[in-house]
Amino acid sequence: MLSYIAKPIAKPLKRKEFIKKAALSSFAALLGTNIVFGSKILNGYTPIALDGSDPFDMFKKNKSMLVLNDKPWNIEAQAHLLYDSITPNSSMFVRNNGLLPETLDAKTWTLTIDGESVVTQKTYTLAELKSKFEQHTYQLTLECGGNGRKEFDPPAKGNQWNVGAVHCASWTGVRLRDVLEDAGMKSSAVYIGFHAADKHLSNDPKKEPISRGCPMPKALQDETILAFQMNGKDIPMIHGFPLRLVAGGWPASVSGKWVNRISIRNKIHDGTKMTGSAYRVPCKPVAPGEKVADEDMCIIESMPVKSLITSPKSGAMLSGKTLKIQGHAWAGEFEVAKMEYSIDFGSTWTPCEVQKPANRLAWQHFSATVKFPEAGYYEVWAKATDSQGTSQPMLVPGWNPKGYLNNACHRIAVKIQ
């Protein structure tokens, strides 16, 4: 139906040999979808491709970032792009569940606190949030729940993230706790759920692309903030300008972008991507490929211990026999207690220097000088252990239907000449 409708209209355009491909593509899609969905498209979204924009320019990303998906935009870093202690915007992964908001005005932006368990529903302007509550700055690790999905077998559907859907930027804002206390929480409060300005892919205004949240104890932590700055500047549009909920150490989907409402719920929040199998793993371990009923899937909370070698880039050929390696390690709600590397596929492990985190939930930096015994092909594997004594596995961990929580050891290839 789509192609049938689009073609007769597209043809005269093409004969003019005029309209650029991108514009025509969006136009055809626009038109075709309009017929199918009735009112939804033409009233709403202007496909971003009509702007003829390049995602790297549009979002100011490093050209070596990998675009996994362009509708919606999903872009990941490569390990070596995450070298900095505090991740700059240029290397931060982009994960979107829906279409970007069309207009974002900090001057008129408001945040409403509502829900069954709010004492007084309140709405704050951005200026009020900034002036009324104390401001805090934290470095917070945000990792996509599906980072590493690419390695699961049988494959899990969704964006096939490799290793680069993680970052640790510096976020400035006010504590969610302070704002929730100002509105008041009833004793029935169990969960918060965010609502935001992005749009569902179908453009149906009644649907939210994502509306997740966290239990009250996480919502009330010092480091759970409503941020209006990232790395000392206004948050970039793609990362949630002008207001983002930031909850480090948990799947980054809890850290809602473009947040305009937070509901204090008297039950586990049931917004989009909270229910079914989204951001959930089997409550009990399952065999690879096994079917799991929705009611046997449990919500992911803290992310597991993990690390990345960010220097050197994989593929280094050396003339000498020593190599300095550097990287970051993080452990969800916990701290990284130990960091090791192996050049013999795990037969022996050597400790790395690992720094304390800048603050709770910030990633930690490690380094080591690796000595190679002789010329040849090596892989340097890195393994972090958290404060609970849990280490990263060398193999891909427990299979789960949606491909979350792959924290297998990262490795780089090295040749000694």
Partner 1 sequence: MKQQIPSSLRIVIIRAMAKLAGLLSLIFIAGLVYLVIDLKAKDAANQETTLAKNEVDEISDQDWDKIENGIHIRTGLIDADGLMTVVSNCTSCHSAKLITQNRMSAERWNETIKWMQETQGLWELGGNQEIIVNYLVANYPSIKKGRRMRLENIEWYELKN
Residues at the contact surface with partner 1, assessed by CB under 8 A: 1-3, 10-11, 13-21, 24-25, 27, 29, 31-34, 36-40, 42-43, 67-72, 151-155, 157-160, 201-202, 204, 312-320, 322-323, 379, 394-396, 408, 411, 413, 415
Q: What residue has token string 């002036």?
A: 131
Instruction: Quote the least distance from Cβ 157 to partner 1, whole Å.
Output: 5
**Cβ-contact 273, 279 below 8 angstroms:** yes
DSSP string for residues in 171-202: EEEEEHHHHHHHH-B-TT--EEEEEES-B-TT
Instruction: Quote the least distance from Cβ 226 to partner 1, whole Å.
Output: 29
For residues 25 and 125, which CB has a smaller minimum distance to partner 1 in the complex? 25
Instruction: Quote the least distance from Cβ 324 to partner 1, whole Å.
Output: 9
For residues 60 and 313, which CB has a smaller minimum distance to partner 1 in the complex? 313
CA max distance for the chain: 70
Q: Alpha carbon of 309 to those of 84, 88, 162, 405: distances in Å?
A: 12, 17, 14, 18
Nearest to 210 by CA among 221, 194, 223: 194
Q: 350-358 — which CB contacts under 8 Å span 24+ positions?
A: 352/325, 352/382, 354/329, 354/384, 357/139, 358/139
CB neighbourhood size of 157 (10 A) = 9
**Cβ-contact 199, 22 below 8 angstroms:** no
**Type of residue at 267:** K
Instruction: Quote the least distance from Cβ 155 to partner 1, whole Å.
Output: 5
In 220-258 the beta strands, taken as DSSP E runs, fall at 225-230, 233-234, 244-246
Instruction: Quote the least distance from Cβ 333 to partner 1, whole Å.
Output: 27
Instruction: Quote the least distance from Cβ 288 to partner 1, whole Å.
Output: 9
Instruction: Quote the least distance from Cβ 172 to partner 1, whole Å.
Output: 33
For residues 103 and 319, which CB has a smaller minimum distance to partner 1 in the complex? 319
Residues comprising the chain, all counted: 417
Q: State the Cα–Cα distance between residues 138 and 224, nearest whole angstrom.
A: 9
Cα distance between the two ends of the chain: 60
For residues 42 and 268, which CB has a smaller minimum distance to partner 1 in the complex? 42
Instruction: Quote the least distance from Cβ 141 to partner 1, whole Å.
Output: 24
**Cβ-contact 124, 114 below 8 angstroms:** no
Instruction: Quote the least distance from Cβ 367 to partner 1, whole Å.
Output: 15
Residue 61 has what DSSP assignment? -
Q: Which residues partner with 234 through β-bridges?
A: 229
Q: State the Cα–Cα distance between residues 287 and 150, nearest whole angstrom.
A: 18
For residues 104 and 408, which CB has a smaller minimum distance to partner 1 in the complex? 408
For residues 76 and 223, which CB has a smaller minimum distance to partner 1 in the complex? 76
For residues 20 and 267, which CB has a smaller minimum distance to partner 1 in the complex? 20
Cα dihedral sign for 391, 395, 399, 405? Answer: positive
Q: State the Cα–Cα distance between residues 347 and 105, nearest whole angstrom.
A: 56
Residue 13 has what DSSP assignment? H
For residues 11 and 186, which CB has a smaller minimum distance to partner 1 in the complex? 11
Instruction: Quote the least distance from Cβ 248 to partner 1, whole Å.
Output: 28
Cβ contacts of 107 within 8 Å, gap of 6 or more: 126
For residues 34 and 137, which CB has a smaller minimum distance to partner 1 in the complex? 34
For residues 3 and 120, which CB has a smaller minimum distance to partner 1 in the complex? 3
For residues 125 and 311, which CB has a smaller minimum distance to partner 1 in the complex? 311
**Cβ-contact 376, 415 below 8 angstroms:** yes
Instruction: Quote the least distance from Cβ 200 to partner 1, whole Å.
Output: 8
